[in-house]
Amino acid sequence: MNQNNRFSSEVEELAKGISRTSEFIRLMIYYRCAIMEIQTKLNVLNAELSLQYDRNPFESIESRLKSPESIVEKMVRRGIPITVEDMELEMTDIAGIRVICSFQEDLYSLADLLVEQDDVLLISRKDYIAHPKPNGYRSLHLLLDIPIFLYRGKRHMKVEVQFRTIAMDFWASVDHKLKYKKTLREPEKVAAKLKICADTLAQMDAEMEEIRRTIDAEEDMTE
């Protein structure tokens, strides 16, 4: 068995072990509740803003809980002890939400409106749109603290929310697929092509935004 395979099977065993504990199962329920809280807030904003602006600020929302294997793999890689307590303390992306918008401007407005709500605490904000990653990755990442209300009281949970345009999401999903292709013959060439696509899509996002502004301005004049 090579080193990679040994690492994977160790992670698998650890993940299997911890995911059967009642503490882990309970923690995942809490994260699911936190996802529901944020999703509801976003849906309310979407409904209200769509009335005001005559369009939906976002097209879709996806959510996921990180799998036990991915959680444990990251913890082992970072030297974090494999306990449920450390998992909650050290891991920030167990609960994830992705909000897909048509326009960049809407994505920033939605993010600001969400953070302004008085039970939402912004822990960190990474703007990979203003400052894209070197490979071309673009998205706005917010790490939020949100209370959930249980019969034994209130509990604060962390949720990572990623905001992207449809174009950014298209790029990220292709990039994500390629990350798992270990057998690419010319990975550098593919990475360079992907970077060109990222820049082209960013240009397209800017042009679509401009078209939307023109349409909005003409509609305002005719009202």
Residue with smaller CB distance to ligand 0O2, 75 or 146? 75
User: Which contiguous run of DSSP H or E holds residue 99?
Assistant: strand 95-101
Query: What angle in degrees, to the nearest 10, is found between the helix axes of 3-19 and 68-77?
Result: 120
Residue with smaller CB distance to ligand 0O2, 41 or 98? 98
For the bound state, the minimum distance from the C-beta of residue 83 to ligand 0O2, rounded and expressed in Å, comes to 18
Maximum Cα interatomic distance, the chain, rounded to a whole number of Å: 71
Paired with 154 in beta bridges are 149
Backbone angles phi, psi at 132, to 5 degrees: -60, 155
Q: Decide if 160 is catalytic.
A: yes
Tokens of 2: 């090579």
From 14-22, 38-46, 109-117, 169-177, span contacting ligand 0O2 (CB under 6 A): 169-177
Site string for ligand 0O2, 59-78 (x = CB under 6 A): -------x------------
- The answer to whether residue 172 forms part of the interface with ligand 0O2 (CB under 6 A) is yes
- The catalytically annotated residue of 160, 188, 219, 223 is 160
Q: Would you tell me how many other CB atoms lie within 10 Å of the CB of residue 55?
A: 13
Query: Which long-range CB contacts under 8 A does 89-93 form with residues at least 24 apart?
Result: 91/66, 92/123, 92/143, 92/158, 92/160, 93/66, 93/160
Point out the residue whose Cβ comes nearest to ligand 0O2: 137
Residue with smaller CB distance to ligand 0O2, 25 or 123? 123
Chosen residue from 69, 93, 105, 127 binding ligand 0O2 by CB under 6 A: 93
Contact 47, 40 (CB under 8 A): no
Site string for ligand 0O2, 101-140 (x = CB under 6 A): -------------------------x------x-x-x---
Residue with smaller CB distance to ligand 0O2, 57 or 96? 96
User: Which contiguous run of DSSP H or E holds residue 219?
Assistant: helix 187-222
Distance CA 14, CA 16 (A): 5
Chosen residue from 141, 158, 164, 195 binding ligand 0O2 by CB under 6 A: 141
Q: Which residues bind ligand 0O2 (CB under 6 A)?
A: 66, 93, 96, 126, 133, 135, 137, 141, 172, 175-176
| Catalytic positions | 160
